Amino acid sequence: MARIVMKFGGTSVVNIERIEAVADKVKGEVDAGNQVGVVVSAMAGVTNQLVAYVDEISTLYDAREYDVVVSTGEQVTSGLLALALQKRGLDARSCLGWQIPVETDDAHGKARITAIRADRVVEWMEKGKVVVVPGFQGVAPDGRVTTLGRGGSDTSAVALAAAVEADLCDIYTDVSGVYTSDPRIVAKARKLDKITYEEMLEMASVGAKVLQTRSVEMAMKHEVRLQVRSSYSDEPGTLVVGEDEIVEQELVSGITCSRDEAKITLTCVADRPGVAATIFGPLADAAINVDMIVQNVSADGKSTDLTFTVAEADREKAVQTLKAEKSELGFLEILSDSDVVKVSVIGMGMRSHVGVAQKMFSALADKGINIQVISTSEIKVSVLIEEEYTELALRALHHAYGLDAK
Ligand code: ASP
Ligand code: MG
């Protein structure tokens, strides 16, 4: 017997037929003798529709009312699933965010969970009652409804799992697990049996959007064992766990790419102390996140080029922000380019093995792919390359690190 939290994403509850299928899955776990808590998303597409309604009335909306509206999608699915479970003879009930309560701060639209008072839920679970909790929603200190930011139901599920001290938090979705690379691009990508929290965080931050990043951070902090799995099959998915649970650590676990990148270059920037601070200050003030940076050594000791990347959506704003400061910053030209992609190699093995980056550089060189910018972290090496080489680069790297399926 185990205590588990099962979370179902929007595509898993997209219509009544799928909700009935979810109910069968939940019943399966109860029949197997497990204590079960369930967290549900809104039916796929519903949250977008609710956001659109709000936008239609006012783009300068009151975020507290935005939350009242967009939190409702999850309320609908929690009630429907409770009904489907009752139809199967289970003792089930919904329990909304404010009823548990899932306490959050008052940052409406992107609230953070501060505490979950789960005593009552635990009591119910011990008595065999199935509690169905709508994800994505909570309650602010003043009692008003909050939401956790798009994709927030993953975080609700992990928080509930932590609060009830669940043995496992199963995240049911429309993919069967976490893959070594995007299977739509790399045909030989494999499903991973296990991956560490750290690797999963890096994967999420560079484009593999299976889980909301915050949910992985929370799982890591509270040591909640996660499993990403398909709601369409009974096959085991990918376990996201602590390093100690992984016996044979692979050197590299994943190759990812992010197309949401823009490269900005300032030419002939003065090569003197304080220049980087003057450039990146205004960008930070404009809430633009700068990712990779490369500054060339100046040939003449006086001026140099500075290149960095921002999210595609911030490109225009970044260019305008810097242009406005041109006299202050004293560069010659500002160039920007969106035909770039960031390719990353991720693996815990990098901490203890040398030559991982070198292997990446030579695999790309062998294919004649030019590297524009490089950045590294403890368990990740990223390069910026021309977008048209994305597929070629991913496949070459997947092969080079021995990840190809047999
Ligand atoms: N329904 C919300 C969204 O679409 C939360 C979630 O599904 O995780 O963002
Ligand atoms: Mg999601």
Please list every protein residue whose CB sits less than 6 Å from any atom of ligand 1: 10, 41-42, 47, 73, 135-136, 150-154
Any alpha helices (H) in 131-267, and if so which ranges?
A: 153-163, 197-205, 213-222
Query: CA triplet 38, 39, 44: central angle to 5 degrees?
Result: 130
Q: Which helix (H) or strand (E) holds 20?
A: helix 16-31
Q: How many angstroms separate the alpha carbon of residue 47 from the centre of ligand 1? A: 6
Residues of the chain with CATH 3.30.70.260: 262-337
Sheet holding 145-147, edge to edge: 113-116, 102-104, 137-139, 145-147
8-state DSSP, 348? G
Q: How many angstroms separate the alpha carbon of residue 329 from the centre of ligand 1? A: 42
Beta carbons of 186 and 254 less than 8 angstroms apart: no
Length of the chain, please?
A: 406
Q: How many angstroms separate the alpha carbon of residue 153 from the centre of ligand 2? A: 7
Mutate to test the pocket of ligand 1, among 41, 172, 216 (most ligand atoms within 8 A of CB): 41
For residue 305, give the nearest of 263, 348, 268, 345 by alpha carbon: 268
Task: Name 296's Cβ contacts closer than 8 Å, sequence gap at least 6.
Answer: 304, 305, 306, 307
d(CA 363, CA 69): 50
Whose atoms come closest to the Cα of 212: which ligand?
A: 2
**Which residue has a Cα nearest atom 6 of ligand 1?**
151
| Burial call 190-225: b when 16+ CB within 10 Å, e when fewer | bbbebbbbbbbbbbbbbbbebbbbbbbbbbbeeebb
At residue 300, the pLDDT reads: 77
d(CA 55, CA 61): 8
Q: How many angstroms separate the alpha carbon of residue 97 from the centre of ligand 1? A: 14
For residue 249, give the nearest of 195, 206, 298 by alpha carbon: 195
At residue 206, the pLDDT reads: 61
Q: Are strands 238-241 and 194-196 parallel, antiparallel or unpaired?
A: parallel
CATH homologous superfamily for 262-337?
ACT domain (3.30.70.260)
Mutate to test the pocket of ligand 1, among 47, 69, 211 (most ligand atoms within 8 A of CB): 47
| Burial call 339-359: b when 16+ CB within 10 Å, e when fewer | ebbbbbbbbbbbeeeeebeeb
Q: Please report, in tens digits, the pLDDT of each residue of the chain (406 residues total).
A: 899 999 999 999 999 999 999 999 999 999 999 999 999 999 999 999 999 999 999 888 999 999 999 999 999 999 999 999 999 999 999 999 999 999 999 999 999 999 999 999 999 999 999 999 999 999 999 999 999 999 999 999 999 999 999 999 999 998 899 999 998 999 999 999 999 999 999 987 665 678 999 999 999 999 999 999 999 999 999 999 999 998 777 889 999 999 999 999 999 998 888 888 889 999 999 999 999 999 877 777 788 899 999 999 999 999 999 999 888 888 999 999 999 999 999 999 999 899 999 999 999 999 999 999 999 999 999 999 999 999 999 999 999 999 999 8
CATH homologous superfamily for 3-174?
Acetylglutamate kinase-like (3.40.1160.10)
Q: Which helix (H) or strand (E) holds 35?
A: strand 35-40
Q: How many angstroms separate the alpha carbon of residue 144 from the centre of ligand 1? A: 19
Q: Which whole-number Å values give the CA distances from 328 to 266, 276, 307, 308, 404, in the listed order? A: 13, 12, 18, 19, 51
Residues of the chain with CATH 3.40.1160.10: 3-174
At residue 59, the pLDDT reads: 83
- Look at residue 238 and give its three-state secondary structure: strand
Q: List the beta bridge partners of residue 171.
A: 7, 228
Any alpha helices (H) in 58-191, and if so which ranges?
A: 63-70, 72-87, 119-126, 153-163
Task: Name 171's Cβ contacts closer than 8 Å, sequence gap at least 6.
Answer: 7, 9, 154, 157, 210, 211, 226, 227, 228, 229
pTM of the model: 0.89
